[in-house]
Amino acid sequence: MESQGSDVRRIWLMAMLRLAAWLGVAAVVGAIFGAITLALLIALSIYTAGHLLYAYQLHRWLARPRTQPRDGFGVWQEIYTELYRLKQRNRRRKKRLKSIVAEFQASTAALPDGAVVIDDRGRIVWFNTAAAALLALRAGQDNGQRIVNLLRHPRFAQFLADAGGTGAQLEVPSPVNDTDTLVLRVVPYGNGQRLLIARDISEQKRLESTRRDFVANASHELRTPLTVLRGYLEMMTEEAAEDGDLVRWQKPIHEMDAQSARMARIIDSLLRLARLESEGLAQAQETIDMAALVRRGVAELESGAGHEHVFVVEVDDTLGLFGRPGEIESVISNLLFNAVRYTPSGGQVTARWSADRGGAVFEVIDDGPGIAAEHLPRLTERFYRVDAGRSAADGGTGLGLAIVKHSLEHHEAELSVDSQLGQGSVFRCVFPSQRLVSRDVA
């Protein structure tokens, strides 16, 4: 850079020296003929005309870049050379950019996911081949069209307006074939532009449904033989108690009875989960008296044998919930039952139903052993137990919290768990405002 700068300085210095020499010669010639002013005027005119000619050539070349630039003289030669170099550099850069764009287009065209670029007014700017196939977009014809006019799913417009980098996704039936399912995601970028990504998840959905059906069918098939076994075991338990010869079988028969009862609970829970998975959002038709349900759940546990806990109930009677009473009841009883099961006798269990930040929250708080942080994210997985032996001995199935999670999802609610080892646990179900109704309590 430094040397280029000094080159430029040198060239212009030379140009000025040349001008001085030219004027000097003119002045001498003028002096000889006794007309210095006229000679200087003529010399300056020739000098200006020369520059005008080169400036004209430059202008012509800039206007029609395909023509070859003429060789200049003095500073013009340098200016021409610099411009020519600049042009060559730009040409190379353009070529490189073109090949990057071509590569980008080829790679996005090969993507299995549909990608649509949408401008700040919701119009389609560009889309790849997969988007054309998945969303039934027509190349050329649909560019510039508003995407909401082409993707007419009732929840899509709202989703597009809301999805501001939240990572939210929307499942919609495919506009090409409504037995297929697409998942849509929106990534905002630049000046109000958004990238809509569409992925075909039909195969995944079909696998999920096959798995669900298999579990439901297997559970259903196991139910009948188990009922028969349990019937005989019940009979044998009674006979063993009365018949002296059978007394040595009393213990194993009792154990078999307990284990078969546990199997029946697991099968019932699996069937319930399969049902929950295949059902959609609970439509808001029934108003549930949450306060009464919570009180009833606690009362059932209080009257149950074997546990000596201190129960605290704090419920807001004016706060009702829209939803399916059976599912909400199972949420309440599962969480209360767990708190009682895992908290040693004498511990305290609090059930609370209250308004919270626009929505409402149902909490079950215990002062039991608590749960270590590494287990918390996995608690709602099927059959996940912190201590499998302990859970089985207490009659647990490992499915309770999975049922809670699914039931809550049907009510647009979320389960969160706060717990630390030795500090007790808080299971919190957060319901959104649209699920709530205020009840009159006269």
Q: Which residues lie near ligand ADP (CB under 6 A)?
A: 338-339, 342, 366, 368-369, 371, 379, 384-387, 391, 396-402, 425
Residue 333 beta carbon to ligand ADP: minimum distance, rounded to whole angstroms: 11
User: Is the CB of 131 or the CB of 267 nearer to ligand ADP?
Assistant: 267
Residue 289 beta carbon to ligand ADP: minimum distance, rounded to whole angstroms: 25
User: Is the CB of 218 or the CB of 421 nearer to ligand ADP?
Assistant: 421
Of 276, 269, 254, 266, which is closest to residue 226 (Cα–Cα)?
Answer: 266
Task: Give the Cα separation of 15 and 31 in Å (integer).
Answer: 24
Helix (H) or strand (E) segment spanning residue 259:
helix 250-278
User: Is the CB of 29 or the CB of 215 nearer to ligand ADP?
Assistant: 215
Instruction: Looking at 136-249, list the stretches that DSSP marks H as alpha helix, in order from N- to C-terminal side.
Output: 147-150, 156-162, 202-242
Task: Give the Cα separation of 337 and 265 in Å (integer).
Answer: 14
Residue 290 beta carbon to ligand ADP: minimum distance, rounded to whole angstroms: 20
Give me 293's structure tokens: 């349900």
User: Is the CB of 323 or the CB of 368 nearer to ligand ADP?
Assistant: 368
Query: Which DSSP letter does residue 290 get?
Result: H
Residue 252 beta carbon to ligand ADP: minimum distance, rounded to whole angstroms: 25
Task: Give, in order, the Cα–Cα distances in Å from 138 to each of 108, 112, 116, 129.
Answer: 17, 17, 12, 10
User: Is the CB of 30 or the CB of 369 nearer to ligand ADP?
Assistant: 369
Beta strands in 236-335 (DSSP E): 287-288, 310-315, 319-322
**Chain centre distance of CA 391:** 34
Of 235, 239, 230, which is closest to residue 258 (Cα–Cα)?
Answer: 230
State the residue for tokens 């074939």.
177
Residue 423 beta carbon to ligand ADP: minimum distance, rounded to whole angstroms: 11
On whether the CB atoms of residues 249 and 236 are closer than 8 A, the answer is yes
State the residue for tokens 């929840």.
155
Task: Give the Cα separation of 179 and 38 in Å (integer).
Answer: 95
Residue 339 beta carbon to ligand ADP: minimum distance, rounded to whole angstroms: 5
Give the β-pairing of 310-315 and 348-356: parallel
Query: Which DSSP letter does residue 154 get?
Result: T
Residue 324 beta carbon to ligand ADP: minimum distance, rounded to whole angstroms: 20
Give the β-pairing of 287-288 and 319-322: antiparallel
User: Is the CB of 30 or the CB of 396 nearer to ligand ADP?
Assistant: 396
Give me 429's structure tokens: 């179900």
User: Is the CB of 128 or the CB of 425 nearer to ligand ADP?
Assistant: 425
Give me 341's structure tokens: 């099961």
User: Is the CB of 41 or the CB of 421 nearer to ligand ADP?
Assistant: 421
Residue 116 beta carbon to ligand ADP: minimum distance, rounded to whole angstroms: 41
Residue 245 beta carbon to ligand ADP: minimum distance, rounded to whole angstroms: 38
User: Is the CB of 171 or the CB of 381 nearer to ligand ADP?
Assistant: 381
